[in-house]
Amino acid sequence: EVQLVESGGGLVQPGVSLRLSCEASGFTFSSYWMHWVRQAPGKGLVWVSRINGDGTSSSYADSVKGRFTISRDNAKYTVYLQMNSLRSEDTAVYYCARAASTTAAGIGGYWGQGTLVTVSS
């Protein structure tokens, strides 16, 4: 059974850093693109970042480019999102999600339960 479990969220002050983790199980982790998607309270879904299977290619939404870094450790079946210089507008539930297949980058039907990041003084 595919499972994705996020962790690392919490309440932080503006300007600080936070690292989110997403531990995967139930599939060959290194074969899939992985994604981070966020949802601000009461708002819609926004793609944040993606990374390919071997970690050599990544992309970011303009709103986080230069501040967030996605990475992965295939030995630990874990994808990370390093978030620096956090702003109040980064407050959201952050979901990790898996690509639909090993041959496509686009997201599929497997999502974690989300972890809440609150940026506030």
Binding stretches for other proteins (CB under 8 A): 35, 44-47, 50, 59, 61-62, 95, 100, 104-109, 111-114
- Residue 10 region by backbone torsions, left for phi larger than 0, else alpha for psi between -120 and 50, else beta: left
Distance CA 30, CA 28 (A): 6
- Residue 113 or 120: the one with the smaller Cβ distance to other proteins is 113
Measured CA angle at 65 (ends 63, 69), to 5 deg: 125
- Residue 29 or 36: the one with the smaller Cβ distance to other proteins is 36
In angstroms, what is the minimal distance from the CB of 16 to other proteins? 25
In angstroms, what is the minimal distance from the CB of 29 to other proteins? 19
In angstroms, what is the minimal distance from the CB of 50 to other proteins? 7
Residue that is written with structure tokens 């339960």 in the block: 113
Spacing of C-alpha 43 from chain mean position? 18
- Residue 59 or 69: the one with the smaller Cβ distance to other proteins is 59
